[in-house]
Amino acid sequence: MASLGDRRRDERHGVHARPGAGQRRGLQPHNFGRDRDTLKSAELEVDRSRESMHETERGVRFQVIQTVFNFKTRQDLLDVAQRSVESCESVLSLVRGRKSSRADVASAEIDLLNARNILIQSQTAYSQALWDLNLVLGDPIGHPYRVKSEVKFIKFRMTLDDVLSVYRQNAPAIHDARKTYEQRQAELRIAEKNALPLPVLQFSGFNFGYNFTSVGTFPNRDPGNVNFSLGLALSIPIIGDGGFLFQRALRQAEVRVEAAEVDLRNAANVNEVRARGLYTTLLQLEYAVDLNQRIFKQSSDVFEASLSALQNRSLYNRLDLKNALEQLRTAELALTSSVLDHYNAKLELANLIGVDRFPEENL
């Protein structure tokens, strides 16, 4: 290493040194498709995100529909309870207007109290449904609505085989599990190639430097040197997660593939059981709706006949009228609730198998 005195002597004699400069680069000419697998893994992740966003949008839409129709049903049930109170008040007025026993009057008063109790319960359920709808729609709590759209009862037209076929093609759970499995396979291929000896092309170029000696006012420059070199090396991972000695990353990728394969089978089997169960539930609810429709019609006829007999002052049985009123109220409540349950079951099935609508029906 030159001392300070040496440098000063060089400067006095006009000898000037300039440091050398150079550039070195490494290039991997072939990595056995590792970049392609990395791109494939990224594309699968993007696809999963897009499908997840689509399923979220569908779920939110179904939630809004379900909340609206739940509110509509509570609104209808509140109207039913109010009509029941009015009917009990009319019956009590008719009973009091006739020469009825105290027992008949007391019984009519009890019916009215029971009807008012049901009305209070219906008002509570209506308020809760209203608040739920306020939250979903983003309106202030207590903001009133009057929904006019009816919950239509439409029988389910798909067979079980059709449902399962659509499920296997479109089910969000299966799609996500399958793409996760494919992504884990791509990650395994990346880990395998990270553990391979890979060729590396190295080159260095334009290494140069020069000295010059001043003679008078004109420097006498040394031409220096310029060189370019090219070499081929082999990169071999020895230690670390991807090395020959510690291949933890490779084994971890293999375990992830095995776990994703198990998740794919489980997602297909578990959700297929749910689809079968929902289909069976739909058929049972359709039978319940048909039955409740017949019961409601017959109960309406019986109540009208009993009320007409009371108004015409003909012979009547007080217990028959009471039973007719209770049957009518129960039948209307059961019919309204069963129609909503049937519709909600269709929404749940549609969300499970990944469809926005069923044939000939908008949800």
E strands in 177-294: 198-215, 218-221, 225-235
Query: Do the strands 15-27 and 218-221 form a parallel or antiparallel pair, or are they unpaired?
Result: unpaired
Question: Which tens digits make up the pLDDT trace of 165-174?
Answer: 999 888 888 8
Question: Which residues partner with 204 through β-bridges?
Answer: 24, 229
pLDDT of residue 26: 55
Tokens 């003679």, located at residue: 215
Q: What is the pLDDT of residues 218-238, one digit of tens each?
A: 555 545 455 555 555 656 666
Tokens of 355: 């469809």
253, 191 Cβ separation under 8 angstroms: yes
Nearest partner of 190 among 26, 32, 30, 29, judged by Cα: 32
In a domain, 355, yes or no: yes
pLDDT band at 197 (very low <50, low <70, confident <90, very high): low
Residue 361 above 80 pLDDT?
no
pLDDT above 90 covers a percentage of the chain that reads 17
CATH code at 38? 1.20.1600.10
Q: What pTM was estimated for this model as a whole?
A: 0.64
CA distance linking residue 58 with residue 126, whole number of Å: 26
CA–CA dist 337, 297 (Å, integer): 16
Average pLDDT of 307-329? 70
Mean pLDDT of all residues belonging to the chain: 77
Instruction: State the average pLDDT over residues 10-24.
Output: 50
The count of structural domains within the chain is 1
Rounded mean pLDDT of 227-253?
A: 64
Top mean pLDDT of 15-29, 223-237, 335-349 is at: 335-349
Residue 82 included in any domain: yes
**How much is the pLDDT for 11?**
46
In a domain, 11, yes or no: no
Q: What is the mean pLDDT of residues 307-325?
A: 67
Secondary structure letter of residue 140 according to DSSP: P
Measured distance CA(155)–CA(72) in Å, rounded: 20
- Domain presence at residue 9: no
Length of the chain: 363
User: How do strand 225-235 and strand 361-362 relate by DSSP bridges?
Assistant: unpaired
Tell me, yes or no, whether 354 lies in a domain: yes
pLDDT band, residue 4 (cuts 50/70/90): very low
Flag whether 2 is in a domain. Answer: no
pLDDT cut 70: percent of the chain above it = 71
What's the rounded Cα separation, in Å, for the pair 153 and 249?
56
Beta bridge partners of 168: none
Residue 197 per-residue DSSP state: -
Backbone angles phi, psi at 319, to 5 degrees: -70, -35
Measured CA to CA in angstroms, residue 72 lies from 115, 125, 151, 289, 319 at distances of 21, 11, 8, 17, 33
Tell me if 4 is assigned to some domain. Answer: no
pLDDT band at 10 (very low <50, low <70, confident <90, very high): very low
H/E stretch holding 90: helix 34-97
Stretch among 24-28, 37-41, 70-74, 143-147 having the lowest mean pLDDT: 24-28
**Across 236-247, average pLDDT:** 59
Domain that holds residue 238: 19-362
- Specify the DSSP element, H or E, that contains 27: strand 15-27
> Distance (Å, rounded) from C-alpha 186 to C-alpha 39?
9
Bridge partners (DSSP) listed for residue 201: 27, 232
Q: Please write down the long-range contacts of 303-312, taking CB distance under 8 Å and 24 or more positions apart.
A: 303/327, 303/328, 307/90, 307/91, 310/91, 310/94, 311/94
Q: Does residue 208 belong to any structural domain of this protein?
A: yes
Mean pLDDT, range 338-351, rounded to an integer:
90
Task: Tell me what pLDDT residue 137 has.
Answer: 86
Nearest 5°: phi and psi at 101? -75, 160
Residue in 113, 116, 93 with CA at minimum distance from that of residue 105:
93
